[in-house]
Structure 1
Amino acid sequence: MKELLIKAKLLLMPVWEHILTLWNSASARWNALLEKLSTVEIPILKKKLSPRTIGVSILVLIALIAIVCLKSCGKEIKQPPTPVTIAVPLSQEIRSFATFDGLVDPFLTVNLDARVKGYLTKIGFADGAMVKKGDLLFVIEQDQYIQEVKLKQAIYTEAKSEYGRQKSLLKENATSQAAVDRALSQFQQAEANLTLAKINLGYTEIRAPFDGLMGRHLLDVGAYLDSTTKGVQLSTIQQISPIYVYFNINERDFLKFEKGQDQNAERKSEVNKLPIFVGLQDEVGYPHEGVLDYAANLISTDTGSLQLRAILKNEKYQLIPGLYARVMAQYGEPRQALLLPKTAVMTDQVGDYVFVLDDAMRTQRQDISLGQRFDKYVEISKGLTASSKVVINGFINLSINQVAKPTEVTLEAMPAR
């Protein structure tokens, strides 16, 4: 009713302005005429016009003007059709999803420590460089350890020879069993000492335990490394292929996800099954694919959220530890849905609605219900069909039953993720 009153007001506005213009013009003319007539004698009547006669004449004139205006009002004022852009809803298969804020974390982090004393003689990598498993990273002076191996080797050789000699003498009853046992003990001790010497010599070379990303070196060539129980840290290496992305789901979303599951079905873990997609701040969509590989067994009472972790291959090393990540988790079964641009949907106190065109190309309001939201599109879960002609542009100046001049376009398909 309110819209009809507004439309009637718009239609009568030009007529009312026309009446006011005629009234002002007539008033000015008749005021001037009255002044003249009041001083003029009419020969036929041989007397002046009385004010009553003048007043009656004015009323008659006003009546004539009103009749003319009413005839003008009877003419319908036609408005040209309003140009609009329309489209039928995009029909596409979608899945429900949730988005989170995540943080990239390395798969492995290892501190490279010196386990023997000596001067640092070589650094074999550039800070921040990628290295391969087995690459030589640090060298500690080796001379004393090489000589230690030679010394232990000589002792080992002598002890081995003596043990063999004692066994031969025992067969000839030329020595005692105790002498043989002592020779065996010395041989075993020499063998163990030789092994330890070789191990210490090996500690003078520090190699990459896996393919990874190096941190900066913490000590320079020439620095003396004094052994401690924990060792002297020289640098850090991180394995980033594969790589982790940590994120949290709050209690409200967790309960919403649980509610959407089939309560009659057997409860199964989504770990190592649920697909996870990741995108960086400068990337469009979620181009990196992984899988959920960890979920905490309780919701934190401090944050009210559940910690989750995804693992991704990261073969091109595009994800670097410490980066902020946009995380999307898909869940539920795929379904066919109708999608519209978010900008085509309007909201008032009644709810969400769009404008559609009927067969007479007149605009009509259509109440709708919304489902899953995407970057550009929104799912229409109720209110439209695949053939509905929805106004997606130019609806600002539209009203119900207004004639429109449509230009139809085709909505672009939405990327898979």
Structure 2
Amino acid sequence: MKQLLVFMGLCAMMGCSTYAHKEEEEPKEEKTSFLVTSPLQKDTTVIKEYVAQVRSIQHIELRALEKGYLQKIYVDEGQYVQKGQLMFQIMPMLYQAEQQKAEAEVNYVELEYQNTKKLADDNVVSKNELALAKAKLDKAKAELSLAQTHLQFTQIRAPFSGIMDHFQVRLGSLVDEGDLLTTLSDNSKMWVYYNVPEAEYLDYKAQVKNERQTKVNLLLANNKLFNQGGVVETIEADFNNETGNIAFRATFPNPDKLLRHGETGNVQMKVPLSNALIIPQKATFEVLDKKYVYVVDKDNVIRSREITVAAELPHIFVVEKGLNKNDKILLEGLRLVRENEKIHSKFVEPGTVLSQLDLYAE
């Protein structure tokens, strides 16, 4: 019995010793180290988008110049017409009759003038009578010219080459002088108007000496870029006091006639930024449509801070407010930390981070 108790005591001692040995052999848990970086400050160029309206370089209303019935329509809606092409014919009979009457009057007065001239040459009548006959002839010719003009006004011709819009009248309609017939657009080039806020306008003027050299692109409604580049040609004189914006106008060639008057889109314009603060997009998170970063202080404690984004580029944000170049921000593991938590961090140079964004992508 005594031997059994000694054996059990030895076993217990060996078991405790073994357990203690196992505890010593277990490795200590390594603490997670998070990557942090700082904003990169440098001059850069960002692409900003502005809502735009597309306009033809010439877009006019075609109106009737004389009263009458619309006798013929020689074109169709949406058709491309050449300059001088006949488009509409207003019934010309009344104006033809006026022209014939004026022609007859000219012929009659012409005979009177020739007879008076012969008599004047023979000193039968005075020079004053010859002058009166000449004045009467000039008056008749002027009336003929007026009648011819009225007759020409019954033919509506294209003042320039362009695309027809829909008809406001139909064949046989009685039109009055000034009635709208259709509109005509010259779409060989397009004017694209977009509004720029005052602050961005001032930055733009400070950086760009000649706006006619500023190239822009047009993003269409189907989210595809127009295949022709444009150039800023003019900036309007006045700001809109209600919106604080000023209108820019860019000209785009339109060889395929893809753009039409009244289209919408977004102008993409490169805007230079001096000493811009750049951070990776992945270092930010959103709360209620506001963007935040985790700033790491000197004691390695993290605190969230709201930032204002001035521009967005692939994988990066340009920060307008909320950070300075000396701040340290959490680069990865944003979902693994909590506010006011102390962490172990490893600093990565911002230039290295931005050049290897895919490497640090989560």
Fold similarity call, TM over 0.5: yes
How far off is 1:144 after superposition?
2.4
Matched, 1:237 2:184: yes
How far off is 1:185 after superposition?
1.8
The equivalent of 1:82 in structure 2 is: none
Matched, 1:282 2:222: yes
Amino acid at match of 1:239: D
How far off is 1:107 after superposition?
1.6
- The unaligned stretches of length 5 or more in structure 1 are 1-41, 79-93, 263-267, 334-338, 352-369, 397-417
Matched, 1:350 2:286: no
Q: TM-score, normalised by structure 2?
A: 0.70
For 2:240 and 2:357, the matched residues in 1 are separated by: 47
Query: For residues 113-142 of structure 1, what are the alpha-carbon distances to aligned partners after superposition, in whole Å with 9 as ceiling and x for unaligned?
Result: 112122111111211222221121110112
For 1:286 and 1:202, the matched residues in 2 are separated by: 42
The equivalent of 1:185 in structure 2 is: 135
Query: For residues 192-249 of structure 1, what are the alpha-carbon distances to aligned partners after superposition, in whole Å with 9 as ceiling and x for unaligned?
Result: 011011101101110111111211111111112233xxx1111111222221111011
Correspondent of 1:66 among 4, 11, 19:
19
Distance change (3 Å), C-alpha of 1:394 and 1:57: farther
Equivalent residues in 2 for 1:140-289, closer than 5 Å:
140-227=90-177, 231-258=178-205, 261=207, 268-270=209-211, 272-285=212-225, 287-289=227-229
How far off is 1:299 after superposition?
2.2
User: Greater RCO between the two (CA within 8 Å, min separation 6)?
Assistant: 2
Matched, 1:327 2:272: no
Distance change (3 Å), C-alpha of 1:287 and 1:177: same
Distance change (3 Å), C-alpha of 1:391 and 1:167: closer
For 1:148 and 1:184, the matched residues in 2 are separated by: 22
Contact 1:300–1:306 (Cα < 8 Å) also in 2:
yes
Distance change (3 Å), C-alpha of 1:112 and 1:392: same
Larger displacement relative to structure 2 (60-69 or 145-154) = 60-69
The equivalent of 2:333 in structure 1 is: none
How far off is 1:373 after superposition?
4.5
Q: TM-score, normalised by structure 1?
A: 0.61
Amino acid at match of 1:65: T
Q: Which of the pair has more CA radius of gyration?
A: 1
Distance change (3 Å), C-alpha of 1:122 and 1:58: farther
For 2:77 and 2:85, the matched residues in 1 are separated by: 14
For 1:216 and 1:388, the matched residues in 2 are separated by: 54
For 1:278 and 1:72, the matched residues in 2 are separated by: 67
How far off is 1:389 after superposition?
7.8
Matched, 1:315 2:255: yes
Matched, 1:374 2:313: yes
- The unaligned stretches of length 5 or more in structure 2 are 31-43, 285-292, 297-308, 319-324, 326-348
Distance change (3 Å), C-alpha of 1:99 and 1:395: closer
Correspondent of 1:119 among 53, 57, 69:
69
How far off is 1:349 after superposition?
1.7
